[in-house]
Amino acid sequence: MGGEQGHSSAPEQPAPLVAVILAGGSGTRFWPLSTPQEPKQFLTIAGQETMLQSTWRRLDGLVPPERRLVITGQQHVQQSAAGLEGLDPRNLIGEPERRDTAAAAILGTALASRRWPGATVLTLPADHVIEPTEQFQQLVREAATVARREQSLCTIGIPPLYPAEGYGYIERSEPLPAGDGLRVYRVRRFVEKPNSRRANGYLQKGNFYWNAGIFLWPADVLLDEARQFLPEHERQLSALADAWGRADFQQQMSAAYAAIESISVDVGIMERTGRATVVEANFKWSDLGGWTALGERLQSDGGRNHVLGQVMLNDCHDSIVYNTDQGRPLVCIGVEGLVVVHTAHGTLVCPKNRVESIKQAVNQLYA
C-alpha cells in the first residue's frame, strides 16, 4: 500500500506567468511634452508616477518582480530602471535599434521559455492607463487560463466607445466556454486602423473590439507561430535567448537585430495566425495615444476647453491648451478646435483634427 502511494503523481503545478513589458516607444505623438530622449512611458502625464512605473506596479500581486522583463531602447535602459521596485537588472533588455513590437515580443517570450519552462507570457505596453487594477488582474488570470486551455494567442479586446480611427480592431467569431461573466471568442480577423466610414461600420456591427496590444500566450505556442510566419525573427531571437547571461549577449543582440525586419507583432503574427482568441475587457482603458486623449483627462472649463498650467483663454472653445512653463503665461484669444502646447522643448499649434500629423512632423524635425 505504501509503495503505491510512493508512485502517485504530484499535483500538476500551474504554468508560471511571466510579464514582458514593452517600453520602446519613441514619444512622437506627445511632442513637445515628449521627445525621443524622453518618450511617453517616462512622463508623469496620467498621475504621480511615470507610465512605466504605473504599469510595473499594476503587476504587483499578479506577477512577481523576478518574472517581469522590461524591453526598451538601449538609450533608455537607465531611465527604465528608475522606480521599478524589485527589478532584476538582468531582466532589463536594451534593444540596439528599433524593430517594432514583434522583435520585443518574440525575444521576451523566448527568454521566458528558457528561464521558466512552460511559462504563459503576458505581453503588454508600458504606456497605457488601466483602471481598476483588481479587474485587470482578474481578467489577465482568466485570459491566461483561456490561452493555456485553447493553446491560443489570446488578446484582450476593448469594447469600442466611439468609431476611433486611431486604433486597430479585432473582429470576434464564435464564443468559447468561459467562467461567470467572462466573454471569450475565437478571432475572425485583425484589421488595421480604419477610415471613418469603416470605423462607424465596425461600431454598428457590434462584434468588433479595439486592439489594446495586450496578449497572453503559452510561450511555445507563440514561438511556433513565429517560426511559421516570421521565421528569421524566431531563428535569430531564439538563438539570442540562448546567449542570455553570456558576456557576448549585447554583441549577439546587435547582430540579431541587424538581421531582422521592423514589423509589429499584430501584422507579423496576429493578423496571420489561425490560433487567436479574444477576451472582452471589463476595465477602463486608454492608450493615451495623443493630445486628444490626454485632453479628456485635463481640467475642463465652460468653453469645452481642457487646460493645464499657467493659461489664460479669451473667447476660446473646444481647445486643448497645455503649458509647462511656470514663468511665462500662455494666452489664447478667439481660437477654436486647436491643440496649443508649450514646453521647454518647443511649441505646438495644431488643429485637433490634425493631431495624427504630429508624428510625421516630429520625425522630420529629428531626422
Q: For residue 99, count CB atoms less than 10 angstroms from its CB and return exposed for 0-12, middle for 13-18, buried for 19 or more.
A: buried
> How many other CB atoms are there within 10 angstroms of residue 283's CB atom?
16
Number of H helices, E strands in the chain: 12, 18
What is the average pLDDT across 297-313?
89
Residue 120 and residue 16 in contact, taking contact as beta carbons nearer than 8 Å: yes
Per-residue pLDDT at 280 exceeds 60: yes
- φ/ψ (deg, to 5) at 60: -60, 130
What is the average pLDDT across 285-291?
88
Per-residue pLDDT at 250 exceeds 60: yes
> Could you tell me which of 12, 21, 282, 288 has the C-alpha nearest to residue 137?
282
Q: What is the mean pLDDT of the chain?
A: 92
- Amino acid 15: pLDDT: 81
The enclosing H or E element of 348 equals strand 346-351
List of residues 6+ apart from 165 with CB closer than 8 A: 193, 194, 195, 196, 199
Q: 3-12, 158-167, 342-351 — which one is most confidently predicted on average?
A: 342-351
Q: Using DSSP bridges, classify how beta strands 306-308 and 284-286 pair: parallel, antiparallel or unpaired.
A: unpaired
- Amino acid 13: pLDDT: 58
Rounded CA separation 138/136 (Å): 6
At 70, list the grid cell: 522590461
pLDDT interval class at 29 (50, 70, 90): confident
What is the average pLDDT across 308-323?
94
Per-residue pLDDT at 93 exceeds 70: yes
Amino acid at 320: I
> pLDDT per residue over 81-92, tens digit each?
999 999 999 999
Residue 322 and residue 297 in contact, taking contact as beta carbons nearer than 8 Å: no
pTM for this entry? 0.91
> Could you tell me which of 20, 21, 43 has the C-alpha nearest to residue 31?
43
Among 161-165, 223-227, 235-239, 340-344, name the one with the lowest average pLDDT.
Answer: 161-165
Rounded CA separation 155/123 (Å): 10
Rounded CA separation 89/139 (Å): 29
Per-residue pLDDT at 3 exceeds 90: no
Query: Helix, strand or coil for residue 151?
Result: coil
